[in-house]
Structure 1
Amino acid sequence: MVTADQFHELNERLDALKGYLAVEDKRGRIAEEEKYTQDPDFWNDQAKAQATMKKIRELKRWVELYEDARTQVDDLGVLMEFHKAGEASEEDVDKQHGVAVEKLEDLEFK
């Protein structure tokens, strides 16, 4: 069974990754770059437009990877609460813990 300490450790690792990956900064840069794409003249310079779109995709990729890991850890917390209330099995909690750890480790090693 997953302990509260294990859950807390996952959250701490995820918070550290959020800072290391500069997730909030990336979100701001995405919004800024997407403003440029709204300009009617954006596609006049194809090379620059494609470079901008590539940059946006890469920034979004990192944010989405972080968000996916965050969702899995949050889902684990919800399942742990359900387990306390007798509404989820220990097997469900352990399975979600495995998924959350896998997503987090995947992100840590990228």
Structure 2
Amino acid sequence: MTTPELLLQSIDLDTLSRIRTYSELISVALGLTISYLAYLGYRRNQSRPMLFIALGFVLILGVPGAALVILGFGLNLPIPIVNSVGQVSELAGLVAILYGLWTPYRTQDG
């Protein structure tokens, strides 16, 4: 056997599950941090597109990770349901970011 095959055989499923949980928590934390910074940009510049970008990052990174942790690990819902919630949220987030990037910047004066 090759080295990657031996490595995969030596890792148990519990360890992989823990790694997956931690990576999801890190994704949620990073997503919320990016969203918060984008929201601060919205507040500082009164730029409505930045608000949509912040919302998009919450939907892309925050909601799917939180759904996995809460619905998948907490409530033990079937993984296809958890993945569906995450996928719908990611699509909505991409649309929000696209709208934020596509919308022309308007100042408060007009």
The TM-score normalised by the length of structure 2 is 0.46
> Whose relative contact order is higher, 1 or 2, with alpha carbons under 8 Å and at least 6 apart?
1
The TM-score normalised by the length of structure 1 is 0.46
